[in-house]
Chain A
Amino acid sequence: MSNINDLKLTDDLFEKLDDSEKNAEFIAMESKTFMRDSWNRFKKNKLALFGLIFVTLMILFAIFAPMFSKYSYEMQDLQNRNALPSLEHLFGTDKLGRDIFVRVMYGARISLAIGFASAAINMVIGIIYGGISGYVGGRVDMIMMRTVDVIYSVPGLLYVILILMVFGNNLTSMLIAISITSWVNMARQVRTQVMSLKETEFAMAAKVIGASHSRILLKHLIINAIGPIIVTLTMMVPQAIFTESFLSFLGIGISQPQSSWGVLCSEARGLIHTYPIQIIWPVAAMCLTILSLNFIGDGLGEALDPNNGGMN
């Protein structure tokens, strides 16, 4: 069992080892702050990074492209209808000779606005509802969660359509409709988080110190549950964009002259046999944006999961 060894077993090797020469505790890795750590993990995920860049570019284009273009989104050029892409019209023109590039960017404004705005409204409703339900617990929680179950078991789209019929086909009612129906997931998510955090030591400690109830709820619980909330939020944006475009495409969502991506798809649909390229632009813009947002959500989900770092 003994190996050939070059080591001479001299006497000094058998001297007692001083405590300072032992590595009593080894430090496995340098400690970093959570956010920094998360960002580093997020950066490593190439798809998520691509998503972030794409969405940022899309937002910038949506804001600035219509401003600087020489065409407006409704300017018609009947001499130049159904033109193919060229330097003059990057994406070509539609059946009324309107510049498709400008229209797609203008559509991005509306679609993205709906996506982000309804996600924001959702977050507020969801956090308040889920927070109360999880924090108060008991009977209140049971009733609130049963209500959520009932809402959840009917497809949200049916409610959205009913609401749209009541308030008319415009941007505001679309926002209201999507927000009213889609906070359920957020509420559930927040509730679970709050419930589990409520039992942790620091929440107990805060209570013992005598911090007021709402302060405990907001400062300690919500801030610590921020990871899953951000992820749910990111996933909500594409969901809202999807719902809006779905309805607008069917002709029961936003109507002219406001034109979201869904409206553009719907307009170009009639020309699918003759000029299929016209529908490709809004479809591609929407696909890439929704995909990017999902990549960001997945990336954030991995990056913000505290269990994901460290040794494993």
Chain B
Amino acid sequence: MFKYTIKRILVGILTMFILSTITFFMMKIIPGNPFSQDNKVLTPKTYEALEAKYGLDKPVVEQYFIYLNNAIRGDFGESISKTGQQVIDIVIRRAPVTARLGSVAFVIALTVGVTLGIISALTKKRWVNSLITTFATIGVSIPSFLLAILAMILFGVMLGWFPLVGLKTPLHYVLPAIALALNPISMITRLTRSSLRDVMSKDYIVLAKSKGTSELWVIIKHGLKNALLPVVTYCGPMFAFLVTGSFVIESLFSVPGLGMEFTSSVINRDYTLIMGLTLFLGAIVIIMNIVSDIAAAMIDPRIKLGK
């Protein structure tokens, strides 16, 4: 288990290093720079001063090492479009908003997804099963932002049940959180359903029943622990999905979080901010992947005991 954890963490660090290298050189190849010459407002002198300030006059390789060194210490430099603001400060200010929305969506996705999955795997009523599977197919297929738009029109504009802008009250969370969670809910429903069905047809379930254990206990004790393994593993990719999903959901619902910040930084070509956010979001996703892999390993004794 210890070896497994160390290995996963090392791979994570390697991934992080590659991501930061790619990000850096991508930003370097982009034709021109934020203070391109066609910007007539800048005199050559101020232009040079600006380049010096952001370290853009040094050789690329040197810039790269300075950047890596700073990035490790959490220093991504100053935002270009928001002068005077450190990237790291922007991240720290915006992150809690995204974290709140994301964790609400995460909890909804897990509870609703697992519940629906269990119901549809075990129900003997055909219509319940087809209702849930149809819902899950639609939820998996249709992009979250389209569903968000439809939900906005239906519940926000036409029915007026929920507010559409910001995150001031719990009511504000309903639409964006559900829109964000819908795809993961469907994924988890499908995963739980297929793996629980698979598990319930396994031989060890028959043995458990042959001991006189009640149906419910067989499901809880012998079925779920095995069946939820793929769901736990999926939590990593789900975080990735929630992060990228927040780009569009936050800008749709005007939620001032990291996603909205990222979108606007791309539109404004705010390179330092883009690099900082890419690395930060990448790191979160990589860490979550490691956490979910380790959690899955804890459930499965074969990995836990290092075999």
Q: Which residues of A contact B (CB under 8 A)?
A: 146, 149-150, 153-155, 157-159, 161-163, 165-166, 238, 242, 245-246, 249-252, 265, 269, 272-273, 276, 279-280, 283, 286-287, 290-291, 294-295, 298
Question: Are B267 and A251 interface neighbours, CB within 8 A?
Answer: yes
In the bound complex, CA of A246 to CA of B14 (Å): 29
Asked whether B19 is an interface residue with its Cβ less than 8 Å from the other chain, the reply is yes
Supply 14 further A-B pairs (C-beta < 8 A) apart from A155-B285, A165-B30, A246-B247. A150-B11, A150-B15, A153-B15, A154-B282, A158-B19, A158-B244, A161-B266, A162-B26, A162-B278, A165-B269, A246-B248, A265-B145, A272-B153, A276-B158
Please list 24 pairs of residues, one from A and one from B, whose beta carbons are closer than 8 Å in the complex, sorted by A's number: A153-B15, A154-B19, A154-B282, A154-B285, A155-B285, A158-B282, A162-B26, A162-B274, A165-B27, A165-B30, A165-B269, A245-B143, A250-B248, A250-B263, A269-B252, A272-B152, A279-B149, A280-B153, A283-B149, A286-B143, A287-B142, A290-B143, A291-B138, A294-B141
- Contact present for B248 and A249 (CB under 8 Å): yes
Closest residue of B by beta carbon distance from A242? B143
Contact between B141 and A291, CB atoms less than 8 A apart: yes
A165 to B275, alpha carbons, bound, how many Å? 12
CB within 8 Å for A283 and B19 given contacts A249-B145, A250-B247? no
Which residues of chain B from 142 to 191 have a CB within 8 Å of any chain A CB?
142-143, 145-146, 149-150, 152-153, 157-158
Chain A residues within 8 Å of B299, by CB = none
Which B residues are CB-close (under 8 A) to A153?
Answer: 11-12, 15, 285-286, 289
B residues apposed to A, CB below 8 Å: 11-12, 14-15, 18-19, 22-23, 26-27, 29-30, 137-138, 140-143, 145-146, 149-150, 152-153, 157-158, 240-241, 243-244, 247-248, 251-252, 263, 266-267, 269, 274, 278, 281-282, 285-286, 289
Contact status B263-A252, CB under 8 Å: yes
User: Does the CB pair A276–B15 fall under 8 Å?
Assistant: no
- Residue pair B18, A166 in contact (C-beta under 8 Å): no
CB contacts (< 8 Å) of A276 on chain B: these are: 153, 157-158
Sorted nearest first, the 9 A-B pairs with minimum C-beta distance are: A294-B141, A155-B240, A157-B244, A162-B26, A276-B153, A242-B143, A291-B141, A252-B266, A150-B15
Contacts of B158 in A (CB 8 A): 276
Q: Please give, as numbers and ranges, the residues of chain A lying within 8 Å of B157 by CB-CB distance.
A: 272-273, 276
CB distance from B290 to the nearest CB of A (A): 9
